[in-house]
Structure 1
């Protein structure tokens, strides 16, 4: 049931995304409207300090073939990814001692900022008033 609800939410978000008319588009030299360019810019390792262990990093690796891999997160395992306009979709499963079986999920993240060295996202699922922006740095 949860998977069906998540699928409906994602389809609703995608249906709501429409391209603006060309005369309303403002060009910014730091952004691009080409979705393939955004996808190419997302490929790589994105990390942030682990809260309470600032010398250690955690994050995600987004590979060219659509595979996503967790970095230094052993209970949250990313599996695949996709980008559509300004939305990043991350498929994951949670495993751990407290859970008898793994649960699957799709994180839906609004890309607030993306450049060659940083990525800032906000979750579109859950209580959006309490969703804080997460910033990741691109690892070389």
Structure 2
């Protein structure tokens, strides 16, 4: 291998390392780590703004409902910008298993905005 080929090969490897690092950083920026989602997330109950409802996400993947007796969350997971909540819907004498797949629109330390179809829901972190 001549000197010019060695330099080209070295530049190619350097470029691939930089490109790979950039892709990994981009992927990390596009997803919400599971530990950033753990905690209690609430919003005012429509028509009863002094009362709150929502869900609690535990680090072990368990989920629970806050002030929603007919919607019982049991577990959760996330992948990229998706939040999946599973549980049971209870009403009219029947219980139905469900999985809600929600799109995370925005996440800050104190707020979580998710979307289900055309419905956008805003939650605040409960302290």
Q: TM-score range by the shorter chain?
A: 0.7 to 0.9
5+ long unaligned stretches in structure 2: 1-19
d(CA) in 1 for partners of 2:30, 2:58: 19
Which residue in the other structure is 2:94 paired with? Answer: 101
Residue 101 of structure 1, CA deviation: 2.4
Indicate the structure (1 or 2) with the bigger Cα radius of gyration.
2
| Count of residues in Structure 1 that have an aligned counterpart in Structure 2 | 107
Which residue of the other structure, out of 29, 34, 54, is the alignment partner of 1:33? 29
Aligned residues: CA RMSD: 2.2
- Counterpart of 2:11 in structure 1 is none
Task: Give the match's secondary structure for 1:40.
Answer: helix
Matched ranges for 1:39-54 at <5 A: 39-54=34-49
Distance in 1, matches of 2:30 and 2:102, equals 19
1:122 pairs with 115, 119, 125, which one?
115
1:1-40 map, 5 Å: 32-33=28-29, 38-40=33-35
Q: Deviations over 1:32-62 (max 9, x none)?
A: 5385x62111000000000000000000000
* Higher helix proportion: 2
TM-score normalised by L of structure 2: 0.76
Q: TM-score, normalised by structure 1?
A: 0.69
The structure in which a higher percent of residues are strand is 2
